[in-house]
Amino acid sequence: MDLTLNETERDLVALCRDFAQREIALRAPAAWEAAVCPTDLLREMGELGLLGMLIPEEWGGIGMSPRVSSWNTPSRP
């Protein structure tokens, strides 16, 4: 089974990592402490298409494969 990402998939993984490092990592601790959902982050993620990665394009998503989603999931020890 070939798990190599194509260029579009690699770009999406890079976008997700950049967004997570630039936006989520900075604001998540305060949101966790305050026990609130940072809806502004969700809105931004939606605008980038990150909330509909696995949803087919004909249903309003971007239709990426589950393989891309797995690259965006933090590895566990």
Over residues 42-73, the pLDDT tens digits come to 999 988 888 888 788 888 887 777 777 666 66
pTM for the full predicted model = 0.74
Predicted confidence band at 1 (pLDDT cuts at 50, 70, 90)?
Answer: confident
**Length of the chain in residues, anyone?**
77
**E-assigned strand segments in 1-77:** none
Please state the domain extents for the chain. 7-71
Which residue type sits at 37? C
- What whole-number distance in Å separates Cα of residue 51 and Cα of residue 61? 8
Q: Which of 74, 70, 76 is nearest to 12 (CA)?
A: 70
End-to-end CA distance of the chain: 24
The pLDDT > 90 percentage for the chain reads: 36
CATH topology assigned to domain 7-71: Butyryl-Coa Dehydrogenase, subunit A; domain 1 (1.10.540)
Which residue type sits at 12? L
